[in-house]
Amino acid sequence: MDVIILQLLNGLDKGGAYALIALGLTLIFGTLGVVNFAHGALFMLGAFCAVTFNKLLSLEIVTTDPTKTTAWGTPLEIRTPYIEAYLGDFGNWVLNYSVPVSILLAIPVMLLFGFIMERGLIKHFYNRAHADQILVTFGLAIVLQEIIKSIFGANPIPQTAPDAVRGAADIGAALGMDPGVIVYPYWRMVYLAFAGAIIAAVFAFLQFTTFGMVVRAGMADRHTVGLLGINIERRFTIVFAIAAVVAGLAGVMYTPILPPDYHMGMDFLVLSFVVVVVGGMGSLPGAVAAGFLLGILQSFASMNEIKAILPGIDQIIIYLVAVVILLVRPRGLLGRKGVMEN
Amino acid sequence: MSLIRKPLNRRSILRAGALGGAALATPTIFTSRAWSAGYLNEPTGAEVVLGFNVPQTGAYADEGADELRAYQLAVKHLNGEGDGGLLNTFSSKELQGNGVNGKKVAFVTGDTQTKSDAARASAKRMIEKDGAIMITGGSSSGVAIAVQSLCQEAGVIFMAGLTHSNDTTGKDKRKNGFRHFFNTEMSGAALAPVLKNNYGTDRKAYHLTADYTWGWSQEESIKKYTEGMGWETTAAVRTPLGAGDFSQYITPVLNSGADVLVLNHYGKDMVNSLTQAVQFGLRDKQVNGKDFVIVVPLYSRLMAQGAGENVKGIFGSTNWHWSLQDEGSKAFVKSFGQEYGFPPSQAAHTCYVQTLLYADAAQRAGTFDPCAIAAALEGFEFDGMGNGPTLYRAEDHQCFKDVLVVKGKENPSSQFDLLEVVEITPRSQVEYPADLLGGELGACNNGA
Amino acid sequence: MEILRVEGVNKSFGGLRALNNVNFSVEQGTVHAIIGPNGAGKSTFLNCMIGRLIPDTGTVKFGNISLTGMKPYEINQVGVSRVFQTPEIFAELTLLENVIIPTMAKRDGQFSLRPFKRLDADREILDKALHMLEDVGLAEKKDVISGSLSRGDKRRLELAMCLSQDPKLLLLDEPTAGMSRADTNNTIDLLKRIAGRGITKVVIEHDMHVVFSLADKVTVLAQGTIIAEGKPEEIKGDPRVQEAYLGGAHL
Amino acid sequence: MSTRTSPARDYIFFAIFSVAVLTMPIWLEPIGAGYPDLLQKFAIFGLFATGFNILFGLTGYLSFGHAAFLGVGSYTAVWTFKLLGMNPIPAVIMAIIASGIFALAIGYVSLRRSGIYFSILTLAFAQMSYNLAYSVLTPITNGETGLRVLRSDPRLFDGNGGQEGPLIANLFGVEMTGWGGFYFCAIILLIGFFIAQRIFRSPFGIMLRAVKTNQNRMTYTGLNPRPYTLAAFVISGMYAGLAGALMCITDPLAGAERMQWTASGEVVLMTILGGAGTLLGPIFGAALIKYFENIFSAFNEQTLHEIFSFLPDFIEGPVISVAGLFVGEGWHLTLGVLFMLIVIFLPGGLMEGVSRIGKLFKRSSGKSEPNRATAPAE
């Protein structure tokens, strides 16, 4: 029983991450009709916003101590973070909360980046073949990750969650079960809540604002909306920027779980495409549903009891489920006819 | 049009053609093994070309970059530039800092991408185009084994870089291939006594193992030695390579009754699984009245950097560490640190040493003939390279030397000072019979 | 002789009854027009005939063959071709290639795997296709990519594609929709010219000018039901038809 | 096309292409590509991309799982070596058959969907194959280490006396490494190219292009698109299997990573980069990517110094540090930039560049080109 609950939690958590990335991807599909292979790179850029923020905070005053030397004979350097030197305790607090606080940095950065990317590049590919879109965005993804690599190196860079949410919570005890049976990290719960909040915000935005209504109409029938004299293109730019922000924030908040490195976007890329397609191209609820479904199934397939019967099932479960779903439901869980079918 | 012409600009093309192969006096067209005189790629000019084949892209790119730094340093020292590094402490005094066998050492580089195919393609380029007489490098066992067998078929020497699987000098060993780095068998033998002293003999271990040959090799070795001292293995679970999120493998550990988690992961997998295991509060747990502990049998500094403070107090083994205080280690750290501004990693160390060992063997043999060099390396005893007295065993081309057991440092003084050496397990404790791991060296191939 | 017989066809979409017990037959060698106001069910009817939609009840018989449940390409292979409301052509291919494909489909069947045969050595097909293009007056454009044609030319190309198959029955869905008056007249001329070949045609049309210059017989469909049938002159004067069209301007 | 192609023109074109391929060792020497392994890779990946182009270029179905067939071909070839002996001919035949069967199974299921749904289905099958080959199927594939021929293998036809000598494929005594391997691959490439050329010119080829352009019209024209696309899928799967076999013939090792999605992506990139739907484009694309992978990655600071040594020191320093970003460990960056530039400025891939240059040349030589639509470049 406890195993099931734990794996369910794992699945929800994983699903939250998948859904967040897939959400932006499917938004871009649905509105702009663009296959964005650089979406993983946007996720990675978000994560590196957190890294950059942390690095900025930890900029150090370097003084040398001539009386001591390093093992290779140069004078020993003594480093004191600026922020600690100037702001004292508040500085420490900010450093402690650097991951959540860096959201403040990530939002404008990702907005700007999404805006530039759409206006400067994606815009010109609306009417090009999907293959061309794939090639150009894939090229962009490589360029972005190589730039990150040349700045930050290839090694993962650890980011820590704030002290207050660093450990694990004993959920079991809180529910009256034996203590220590169901333990779950605070940060993962924070991430799950965060994912839920972002998903809800995006849905609310599309559901309850006029802007959202136009975008939804555009997703349904772009041509007609264009005929109504509504400048749909400008709105799509904003949609793209929003998708970039969603991916970026997903990246920021994921850093304490997965120390970011330059390649993390590519690692998520294929998976997020599978999620989007299983959900149905251009369907936001579909992407969210598929994200959670695949996350949960993956968690359960990894259980020892199941692996004992079907060795290696955890390695292929996502793809297996994708195949089955696509064969049973031609357009994924909630896909519409005619989107990306040719 | 100008776009595609640009990279193919005629002048740069011609120069690119001359690339690295300034050493190559002979035209490469129609050079074949039958054509060359005594052995493949016999150096005829004033230079001898070595091939440094390291990961430059992918997850191990930083490790590869460090290996490349070490190689460049080694070449400098061999050619008499810099402070001479380990040449000063090396027990063999054949090398004079004037090249090898009177020839200046030149090198070519390539990217393995940590993929067997790419690594072999890169090594082949070095052999076929650049005339490399020896290939070295690599940061994973799959690549090392693939390149080693290529070098065997082609007829050049392979000096393995970082490869930890038993198979490299076990069931996949080759007459032309040599490994200085240690292996999982030695990790197990060195680690077990330390674990026993710290955690006792009544422990239940849960293994998470990367699902490929190196992972299995390490799991087997660690199981063998920990079970030998009385530990019980609760479960050994295979995890897919590059899983990213390991939560679904970590949660079953919580209530499995195990009180030790052994992470048979390397690189990014290890960084992720350790970070997440700590997040799940495993290290704060009490099981069977004991503190729950995590063990990472193979450590590297780059991994420790990636996992950050999560490594504190966690035991593992390593081939070498820059904080060692013997003369050889101090000399290497000094010349590497002065050149690059930070201390070398164990990957850098093993690559540097391998280059010197190769050069020394060539010097002693008086030729670059792979078979003569192999003979000179086999059974070679040396010291002063940072690992104490070392033997290149003739039967399996594996170096036998002391193994370090390390622990994540509680209060690191810098981003490089993450591990502390808790024990130097003497060579005698980690030696094993040559036929233990199977395999067959076969005959030497000089490509002629 | 009857070439096509539709009996008791019903088709609903959700709660909407698109076709209501339609009985219909076409005489061989005639031009049979189906007219009706927007939303009368004309296109649904046509789609039921060619296998794009499957009727809820009822049968569609082509000669002795029941078309109900057959795949569109099987229906075509028994001799039914269709011209669409918006021209369906192979827009990335040249005009000649566009005509070659149906010509080969007629000769070689729904699938034939001959990867090593050279198409440019197949004189029979080439000549026939070229001849077809000449017939519709597009021969000089044979190497043009068809997507760049004007709408009228696309329509003529599509017609050539269908005619190249020597169909027994040709279904035309508003062949002059969206065309200029001149293009319309050209199309009428063309259709008249090929009328002599004994190809039976079913034409769905809005434009009464077209209907009355082509059709031998007219069926009027309104709200999924046939409300009148007869010769063009009879239909012209039928008050029910005028009612259905609300005093339609074309009459 | 039909009125402007003729058997004679195709034979001349093929003859020129053959000469160009067979003399690659000479004319590619000045750009540093004239060594056997890279030229083998050009031929092998050229073949792979040519086959992929039959599916993608003609029918427009974008498969993201073709690396699986490459892998199947590789494993089959090595197993053939292990069981039958080191002659490449049986390995080639077995690999084509095995990958053909595999492609038939995957294609039959995947072609039930189109567009991106098809892409993801093929991707899913390939990733499953890769993950299983890497781990659970290790007894068959030898997992991470890769499948190799061992001395202990039965090798029915040449295993008896074969204790000595390296275990590499040989065609009746000609060793398939080095130049021998290159010429073997080159001849197979020429055969593959010839077949592709015939497919492009055949009724079958035009039907495949019809599938790409308008499946609806095709259906109402009495044609069943499914068997056509399935046939194209199987043929291109066989090309991939053949390419996989050649990889093992020139270098008898089959690793699972050949089946990873990145490998499938690579052939997609090669094809689009060169020009999908053209005969030569995919081969150009394959050569370009392999050239970057092997040559640009090999530049290091030392070689950059040699290249820029003509510059005065104060310029040389910055130039080398900028150039250093694009070569050696930064060769991926060059590749990424190249992808973007080509797709932005040459939407039809490299072949569009070639045809533009060709037009420029024609215009400058005074002949005015009659204004007709662009034919597919060849």
Percent share of chain A, pLDDT over 90? 36
pLDDT in the model for residue B412: 84
CA A137 vs CA A23, A40, A274: distances in Å: 18, 10, 17
The minimal CB distance from D214 to the residues C91, C96, C120 is found for: C91
CA distance B85 to chain D (A): 21
Q: CB-based burial of residue B254 (10 Å sphere; 0-12 exposed, 13-18 middle, 19+ buried)?
A: buried
B18 pLDDT higher than 50:
no
Contact criterion met (CB < 8 Å) for B121 and D41: yes
The minimal CB distance from A136 to the residues D62, D127, D343 is found for: D343
Tens digits of residue pLDDT in A89-125: 777 787 788 888 899 999 999 999 999 999 999 988 8
CA distance D121 to chain B (A): 21
Specify the pairing of strand B403-408 against strand B315-318.
Answer: antiparallel
The minimal CB distance from A323 to the residues D121, D272, D347 is found for: D121
**Cα-trace Rg, chain C:** 19
Nearest Cα residue to C203 out of C225, C190, C219 = C219
Q: Which CATH number fits domain B10-182+323-401: 3.10.450.50, 3.30.420.40, 3.40.50.2300, 1.10.20.10?
A: 3.40.50.2300
Go through chain C and tell me how many residues it has: 251
Nearest Cα residue to A249 out of A107, A111, A117, A108 = A107
Per-residue pLDDT, averaged over B48-69, amounts to: 91
CATH superfamily of C1-79+167-251: P-loop containing nucleotide triphosphate hydrolases (3.40.50.300)
pLDDT in the model for residue B122: 93
- CB-based contacts of A205, cutoff 8 Å, min separation 6: A211, A212, A242
Percent share of chain B, pLDDT over 70? 92
B19 pLDDT higher than 50:
no
Q: Three-state SS for B380?
A: coil
The minimal CB distance from D145 to the residues B20, B111, B213 is found for: B213
Token pair listed for C170: 């040709």
Query: Mean pLDDT score of chain C, rounded to an integer?
Result: 85
B291 backbone dihedrals φ, ψ, rounded to 5°: -70, 135
Nearest Cα residue to D67 out of D126, D133, D140 = D126
Contact criterion met (CB < 8 Å) for A140 and D120: no
Q: What is the spatial distance between Cα B383 and Cα A127, in angstroms, rounded to a whole number?
A: 68
Nearest Cα residue to B225 out of B312, B300, B139, B295 = B295
Q: Which of 321-380 (B) contact A at CB < 8 A?
A: 322-323, 330, 333-338, 341, 343
Contact status, residue A122 vs residue B269, Cβ threshold 8 Å: no
Contact criterion met (CB < 8 Å) for D134 and B212: yes
Tens digits of residue pLDDT in B364-375: 999 999 999 999
Tens digits of residue pLDDT in C181-227: 887 888 888 888 776 677 888 988 877 778 888 888 888 888 888 88
Contact status, residue B95 vs residue B80, Cβ threshold 8 Å: no
Q: Report mean pLDDT in 10-residue bins for chain D, 378 residues.
A: 71 94 91 90 96 94 94 95 89 96 96 90 94 87 83 75 62 81 94 95 93 91 94 97 94 88 91 92 94 86 78 81 81 90 88 88 58 40
The minimal CB distance from D373 to the residues C74, C121, C148 is found for: C148
Q: Which residues of A touch D340 (CB under 8 A)?
A: 121, 136, 139-140, 143
Q: Three-state SS for A47?
A: helix
Q: Residue B241: closest CA among chain A residues belongs to which residue?
A: A315
pLDDT in the model for residue A52: 92
Residue for token pair 């915000």:
A201
Query: Mean pLDDT score of chain A, rounded to an integer?
Result: 86
Q: Which residues of C touch D198 (CB under 8 A)?
A: 115-116, 118
B35 pLDDT higher than 70:
no
Q: Which residues of D touch C109 (CB under 8 A)?
A: 222
Q: Is A341 on the interface with D (CB under 8 A)?
A: yes
Token pair listed for A341: 């079918």
Q: Three-state SS for A22?
A: helix
Least confident of A51-60, A245-254, D341-350: A51-60
CA D21 vs CA A186, C20, D46, D350: distances in Å: 62, 68, 11, 18
pLDDT in the model for residue D165: 55
Q: Which residues of B touch A184 (CB under 8 A)?
A: 280
Q: Is B5 on the interface with D (CB under 8 A)?
A: no
Nearest Cα residue to A129 out of D55, D124, D275, D338 = D275
Inside any domain, residue D181: yes
pLDDT in the model for residue C135: 84
Q: Is B32 on the interface with A (CB under 8 A)?
A: no
Least confident of A64-78, B192-206, B332-346: A64-78
Name the band, by pLDDT with cuts 50, 70 and 90, for residue A266: confident
Per-residue pLDDT, averaged over A211-219, amounts to: 80
Residue scoring higher pLDDT (B311 or C43): B311
Contact status, residue B184 vs residue B264, Cβ threshold 8 Å: no
Q: What is the spatial distance between Cα D162 and Cα A117, in angstroms, rounded to a whole number?
A: 61
Q: Which residues of A touch B418 (CB under 8 A)?
A: none
pLDDT in the model for residue B394: 93
pLDDT in the model for residue A222: 66
Name the band, by pLDDT with cuts 50, 70 and 90, for residue C67: confident
Interface mutation target, options D48, D86, D145, D299, chain B, most CBs of B under 10 Å: D145
CA distance D215 to chain C (A): 9
B241 pLDDT higher than 90:
no
Domain boundaries, chain C: 1-79+167-251, 94-165
Per-residue pLDDT, averaged over A232-245, amounts to: 87
pLDDT in the model for residue B29: 38
Domains B10-182+323-401 and B185-318 share a fold: yes
Tens digits of residue pLDDT in A142-196: 999 999 998 998 889 988 888 888 888 887 777 777 777 788 899 999 999 999 9
Tens digits of residue pLDDT in A278-300: 998 888 899 999 999 999 999 99
Nearest Cα residue to A24 out of A46, A55, A50, A3 = A46
B with D: touching (≥3 Cβ pairs within 8 Å):
yes
Residue scoring higher pLDDT (A62 or A162): A162
Per-residue pLDDT, averaged over A200-208, amounts to: 91
Interface size B-D, in CB pairs within 8 Å, comes to 170
Nearest Cα residue to C161 out of C192, C194, C207, C119 = C194
Subunits in contact with chain C (3 or more CB pairs closer than 8 Å): D
CA distance C249 to chain D (A): 34
Q: What is the spatial distance between Cα C149 and Cα C94, in angstroms, rounded to a whole number?
A: 10
**Cα-trace Rg, chain B:** 22
pLDDT in the model for residue B411: 86
Q: Is B284 on the interface with A (CB under 8 A)?
A: yes
Return the H-helix or E-strand segment holding A77: strand A75-81
Q: Residue B301: closest CA among chain A residues belongs to which residue?
A: A155
Least confident of A60-74, A153-167, C173-187: A60-74
Token pair listed for B364: 């002693």
Contact status, residue B161 vs residue B54, Cβ threshold 8 Å: yes
Token pair listed for D52: 């992929």
Inside any domain, residue D338: no
Subunits in contact with chain A (3 or more CB pairs closer than 8 Å): B, D
pLDDT in the model for residue B3: 31
Q: Which residues of C touch D215 (CB under 8 A)?
A: none
Spell out the SS3 assignment of chain C: CEEEEEEEEEEEECCEEEEEEEEEEEECCCEEEEECCCCCCHHHHHHHHHCCCCCCEEEEEECCEECCCCCHHHHHHCCEEEECCCCCCCCCCEHHHHHHHHHHHHHHCCCCCCCCCCHHHCHHHHHHHHHHHHHCCCHHHCCCEHHHCCHHHHHHHHHHHHHCCCCCEEEEECCCCCCCHHHHHHHHHHHHHHHCCCCEEEEECCCHHHHHHHCCEEEEEECCEEEEEECHHHHHHCHHHHHHCCCCCCC
CA distance A34 to chain B (A): 25
Q: Which residues of D touch B122 (CB under 8 A)?
A: 294, 297-298
Name the band, by pLDDT with cuts 50, 70 and 90, for residue A342: low
A83 pLDDT higher than 80:
no
Domain boundaries, chain A: 2-52+114-328
pLDDT in the model for residue B414: 80
pLDDT in the model for residue B30: 38
Contact criterion met (CB < 8 Å) for D265 and A138: yes
Report the interhelical angle of C151-163 vs C123-135 (nearest 10°): 130
pLDDT in the model for residue B119: 93
B85 pLDDT higher than 60:
yes
Contact status, residue D192 vs residue D47, Cβ threshold 8 Å: yes
The minimal CB distance from B279 to the residues A2, A73, A168 is found for: A168
User: In the 8-state DSSP scheme, what is residue B309?
Assistant: G
Q: Is B229 on the interface with D (CB under 8 A)?
A: no
Subunits in contact with chain D (3 or more CB pairs closer than 8 Å): A, B, C
Contact criterion met (CB < 8 Å) for D255 and B213: no
Token pair listed for B428: 């005698």
Q: What is the spatial distance between Cα A247 and Cα A45, in angstroms, rounded to a whole number?
A: 9
Q: Residue D341: closest CA among chain A residues belongs to which residue?
A: A136
- Return the number of other C-beta atoms located less than 10 Å from residue D50's C-beta: 29
Per-residue pLDDT, averaged over C61-87, amounts to: 88
Subunits in contact with chain B (3 or more CB pairs closer than 8 Å): A, D
Per the structure, the count of domains in chain D is 1
Residue for token pair 């050539």:
C160
Its CATH class, for the domain covering B185-318, is: alpha beta
Task: Name the E strands within B145-282.
Answer: 157-160, 177-179, 204-210, 232-239, 260-264
Q: Which residues of D touch C118 (CB under 8 A)?
A: 7, 198, 201-202
Inside any domain, residue D96: yes
pLDDT in the model for residue A227: 67
pTM higher than 0.95: no
Q: Which residues of D touch A146 (CB under 8 A)?
A: 330, 332-333, 336
Interface mutation target, options D2, D3, D111, chain C, most CBs of C under 10 Å: D2
In terms of residue numbers, what domain contains D130? 7-260
Percent share of chain B, pLDDT over 90? 64
